[in-house]
Amino acid sequence: MTTAPSAPRAPRTSIALPGPRAPMTPRALAASTAPVTSIPSATSMTSTAPAAPAAPAARGVPLGRADVEAAAARIAGHVRRTPLLAGPAGPELPRAGRRLLLKAEHLQHSGSFKLRGAANAVLALGARRIVTGSSGNHGIALARLAAPLGAEVTVVLAGGAHPAKIAVIKALGGRTVRVPGGVAERDARARELAEETGAVLIPSSDHELVVAGQGTVGLEILAEAPDAETVYVPTGGGGLLAGVCLAAYGHPVRVVGVEPAGTPRYARSLAAGHPVRLAPGDTVADGLRGQQPGAVPYPIIRDRVDDLITVSDAQILDAAALLRRRGFEAEPSGAVALAGAIRAGRGTGLAVAVISGGNTKTALMTAAAAGPPSRTHRTA
């Protein structure tokens, strides 16, 4: 029988946890070798009002669950309420007796959860000229939204962006700009273009409206599985993890962020007690190559996340292969949370892993061929 959690959970002021669950010890981070440098003071963030250049102007009021609920109402006609599907079991999942569900965001319109945050920002701002920096999925989401709204979108991409994702953005009517370097250089160029053209900058994760929109994933999970013990969330820029943290305020569910081992920006930052910037890293999870925490997501994650774990590229690819065997078309970034759930392998209660994206090569080819939706298009 499914029962609701017996006691609400209050927001915490630190990530310190009792007993063996305490995250981010030096031992837990020893396996990661990504080079780290402190973020320069010009982009440093405080515990009260982060003010990095990449972040939008702060509204002076902390984000809360109410913002996520408002986002859910705003985007309802533009996104799909994705199902919770049965996950691997038995020999495919360690620790017999563990129950695992998969939040199927790979079935989302645009192929990933990114549509939620993009829709919330575009609709709330009434933007008609948009600039963003993206690894691909956020750019696809914005381009898909822009077509029926008559908006223009320019997407700045770093050198490692997937060619098939670039092709989809163009097929949807978006303009693309390539820059050398990593995510930091990409986002800096996006800010410059927005200032030069007067367009609205909608970052892929470091924006209050984007974070609130991504949090609707968490609202849906907790509405359908109120007895969930743990939710595993893939973590790149941090928008999805921060959004799920917002949705989980007042709920006892454990929120666990899962990062690629080569780019553990949030794990390193929380261990250091302040945001740090990593050198550009490489991972098969091309959507999770961020170099530093966002000013908006960082304090939310710091105050609510229960744990952060890393997974290797081999573990990510194994999880993606497992999903394919079960009929799920997930890109490597989309399989990261499942890889984390398999690696954690603890607890006998219900766990949920967010399958965040399904923009595989085949899916991208289909999307590129389909082109943009009509101006009268509304999703359901």
Distance between CA atoms of 14 and 228, rounded to whole angstroms?
22
The number of C-alpha atoms within 13 Å of 56 and in the hemisphere containing its C-beta is 18
Query: Amino acid letter at 342?
Result: I
**Higher pLDDT pick, 148 / 12:** 148
Residue labelled with tokens 């973020």: 39
* Contact status, residue 290 vs residue 185, Cβ threshold 8 Å: no
pLDDT at 162: 83
Distances from the Cα of 98 to the Cα of 25, 335, 342, 344, 347, angstroms: 26, 18, 10, 11, 7
pLDDT in tens, 139-155: 999 999 998 888 999 99
CATH tag, 114-205 = 3.40.50.1100
Q: Per mean pLDDT, which range of 41-55, 99-113, 152-166, 347-361 is the poorest?
A: 41-55
Helix/strand/coil (H/E/C) assignment for every residue in the chain:
CCCCCCCCCCCCCCCCCCHHHCCCCHHHHCCCCCCEEECCHHHCCCCCCCCCCCCCCCCCCCCCHHHHHHHHHHHCCCCCCCCEEECCCHHHCCCCCCEEEEEEHHHCHHHECHHHHHHHHHHHHCCCEEEEECCCHHHHHHHHHHHHHCCEEEEEEECCCCHHHHHHHHHCCCEEEEECCCHHHHHHHHHHHHHHHCCEECCCCCCHHHHHHHCHHHHHHHHHCCCCCEEEEECCCCHHHHHHHHHHCCCCCEEEEEEECCCCHHHHHHHHCCCEEECCCCCCCHHHCCCCCCCCHHHHHHHHCCEEEEECHHHHHHHHHHHHHCCCCCCHHHHHHHHHHHHHCCCCCEEEEEECECCCHHHHHHHHHHCCCCCCCCCC
pLDDT at 47: 34
Fold for 63-111+209-361, please state it.
Rossmann fold (3.40.50)
pLDDT at 265: 92
Residue 326: Cβ within 10 Å count? 14
Exposed/middle/buried for 369, CB within 10 Å: 0-12, 13-18, 19+? exposed
pLDDT band at 57 (very low <50, low <70, confident <90, very high): very low
pLDDT in tens, 315-348: 999 999 999 998 898 989 999 999 999 999 767 7
The dihedral sign for the CA sequence 51, 112, 155, 127: negative
pLDDT at 34: 39
Distances from the Cα of 316 to the Cα of 30, 101, 188, 208, 258, angstroms: 19, 18, 29, 29, 11
Among residues 60, 105, 338, the alpha carbon closest in space to that of 214 is found at: 105
**How does strand 36-38 pair with strand 276-278?**
antiparallel
Q: Which residues are catalytic?
A: 114, 135
Q: Per mean pLDDT, which range of 6-20, 224-238, 282-296, 354-368 is the poorest?
A: 6-20
Residue 41: Cβ within 10 Å count? 6
Looking at the chain, the domain(s) classified CATH 3.40.50.1100 span 63-111+209-361, 114-205
pLDDT at 54: 37
Residue labelled with tokens 């009517």: 173
Flag whether pLDDT at 25 surpasses 60: no
pTM of the predicted protein model = 0.81
* Contact status, residue 379 vs residue 77, Cβ threshold 8 Å: yes
pLDDT at 3: 42
pLDDT at 19: 30
Q: What tokens appear for 37 in the block?
A: 């440098």
pLDDT at 92: 65
Percent of the chain with pLDDT over 90: 60
Flag whether pLDDT at 33 surpasses 50: no
Distance between CA atoms of 24 and 30, rounded to whole angstroms?
10
